[in-house]
Structure 1
Amino acid sequence: MDQRTLGTAGPTVGAIGLGCMSFSGFYGATDEAASHRTLAAAHDLGVTHLDTALIYGQGQSEEIIGRFLKAHPGRRFSIATKGGIVLQPARHFDNSENRLREQLEGSLRRLGVEHIDLYYVHRREQERPIEEVAGTLAKFVEEGKIGGIGFSEIAPASLVRAAAVHPVAAVQSEYSLWTRLPELGLIDACARVGAAFVAFSPLARGMFADRMPTRDDFGPQDFRYNTPRFVEPNFSFNRAIVQRFNAYAASQGVAPASMALAWVLAQAPHILAIPGTRSAEHLVQNAASGTLALSADQLSEIDRLLPRGFAHGDRYSDQQIVGIERYC
């Protein structure tokens, strides 16, 4: 698999990582045995970077990873997790040193490790200067608790301010063939400051899978149930457009997931992708994109089939988007 670096100081990991949000049932019911099979397959396929967070099942995803690592001490991953969101008594953001330290210590305990390679602020607390937050994360680096600092869903201007305090290893944002906002400055800003850009939901929350989801697949607890792009009539419009891409991928002898991920990686050499899956079988397709080089003709045809802005509906509802920095 193609190898890419999380920031200028490493570590070097496979260009395709594994997003572990689905381990906590975010997209429907799952079980720990299936998650452990997925982790075992990831290791065997060269998928060496895991991405999780405190709020994925309120620590459940971290605990599942921690139990796998304990049971398989020879299998090592580069792990990223996230803090800064507080769910009780009401969801809000707290980037204070005390809160981040408390959450980091909890993540270390659940993962069963003494050091985390990359620690993100999951959502920025707007009332607190980002320079202060970067300084807090820098303390964790100095203490040996984390290897690098990161931010999720921040604006390019915020990244530049944070990087002036301490090198930022990575910024993660949603990026895929149907979510192109990071092209308006964030990917370039990451390159300027030496940060990796980590694309989450690079398969459009399942739209580029072999079997495209239907509305019947979304139970009330599924994140997509009330997300505008998955609500009618938007969903039917989007399915029809994406089906053209899926047919093209098949005509090229490539799984849609592999082609969609290869497209993401082709956009810049500092981009990594962290598709999530509960299935070891789907992971094989994801990992295959780490060695798939798309031709200029293929990239041109993909842009024709799925031009910027093709998706109907916003990527988040008004409630879901709270805390994400908008910059264009």
Structure 2
Amino acid sequence: MKQRQLGANGPTVGEIGFGAMSFGGMFGETDEATSLRTLDAGLEAGITLIDTANIYGLGVSETVIGKWGRAVTLATKCGIVAGPPRSVDNSEPYIRACLEESLRRLKRDHIDLYYLHRLDPKVPVEEVAGTMSRLIDEGKIGGYGLSEIAPYTLRRAHAECPVMAVQNEYSLWTRLPELGLLRTCKELGVAFVAFSPLGRGMFGEREMRREDFRSGVDFRHTNPRFVEPNFSANNAAIAKFRAFCQERGWSVSGTAVAWVLAQGDHIIPIPGTRTAEHLRHWLDASLTPEDLAEIERILPAGFAWGDRYGDHQMNAIERYC
């Protein structure tokens, strides 16, 4: 697998990373043995950046990765208080407490990349950058990142202590980062880590059905893009892209990941899956300028029906356009 750098001074990693949220059971039943096989398959394919968070399965995802124990670049996150009710805490004592818990579950004494998962309006981002700077100096973390932020927040934090990575949603159907954030990351030497590059399963090998959503815990049940009439409209649009891929003998998910990779050499997509079989679909796709132009014709920016989150899901997510 080709390599990309995780920020101006960060480690070099495989150009595709792995998002381990699904190990916590949000998108369907999972088990430890299957998760470990998936991690093995990823490493065998050259995936060396594993991304998790303390709230994924309330520690389950981190615990599985800790048991796996392979020498890869690890990223995890803090800042969300699971609740109930769910809230956000960016104070230094809370960040430090979360870090110690994550280190214990991951069986590490050092985290390569530590993200602030969500912003706390009560704590200026400069204070968070100061906390992260002290953790770097203490050898607890290699660098820090921010998630779901605006370009101006990145500039404020970066001026206090250089940011290694920004993690925001980015895919064929979520294009907001193109309106300033990708450019700002490039300018500052910050990696852009694209989560949900497969549209939360929409860019899979077969058409998604609402009955595929796990009962009770899958937030897609109430997500605007997955409720009618939006869901049917989105499936119809993506069916044309799926046909485009299949006519060429390409996997749908691999083509969607390749599209993200083609948007900039500082972008690292982190698709997720529960199984090794699905992971293998992501690999070895490359697109010509003509391919990219045709994809843009099939799925132009803004094609998706519905917002990427409902209003109840937008707490602590920065909107800037």
TM range (shorter): over 0.9
Q: Which residue of 1 aligns with 2:310?
A: 317
Q: Which residue of 2 aligns with 1:262?
A: 258
Match for 1:91: what amino acid? R
- 1:99-118 superposed matches below 5 A: 99-118=94-113
Q: Deviations over 1:101-136 (max 9, x none)?
A: 000010000000011100000001112111110010
Structure 1 residue 293: Cα displacement: 2.4
- 1:1-328 superposed matches below 5 A: 1-69=1-69, 75-218=70-213, 219-286=215-282, 288=283, 291-328=284-321
Structure 1 residue 37: Cα displacement: 0.6
3-state SS in 2 of match to 1:30: coil
Question: For 1:270 and 1:187, how far apart are their aligned partners in 2?
Answer: 9
Provide the aligned C-alpha RMSD in A: 0.9
Name the % identity.
Answer: 57
Question: What is the aligned length?
Answer: 320
Match for 1:30: what amino acid? T
3-state SS in 2 of match to 1:164: helix
3-state SS in 1 of match to 2:246: helix
Q: Deviations over 1:8-60 (max 9, x none)?
A: 11210011111000000011111111101101111111011100001101111
Q: Does the 8 A contact of 1:65 with 1:111 survive in 2?
A: yes
3-state SS in 2 of match to 1:7: coil
3-state SS in 2 of match to 1:209: coil
Match for 1:31: what amino acid? D
Q: Deviations over 1:52-86 (max 9, x none)?
A: 001101111000111111xxxxx311000000111
Q: Does the 8 A contact of 1:54 with 1:83 survive in 2?
A: yes
CA pair 225-8 structure 1, distance change in 2 beyond 3 A: same
Question: For 1:223 and 1:229, how far apart are their aligned partners in 2?
Answer: 11
3-state SS in 2 of match to 1:47: coil
Match for 2:303: what amino acid? F
Q: Does the 8 A contact of 1:206 with 1:212 survive in 2?
A: no
Match for 2:291: what amino acid? Q
Question: For 2:58 and 2:141, how far apart are their aligned partners in 1?
Answer: 20
Unaligned runs of 5+ in 2: none
Structure 1 residue 89: Cα displacement: 4.4
Unaligned runs of 5+ in 1: 70-74
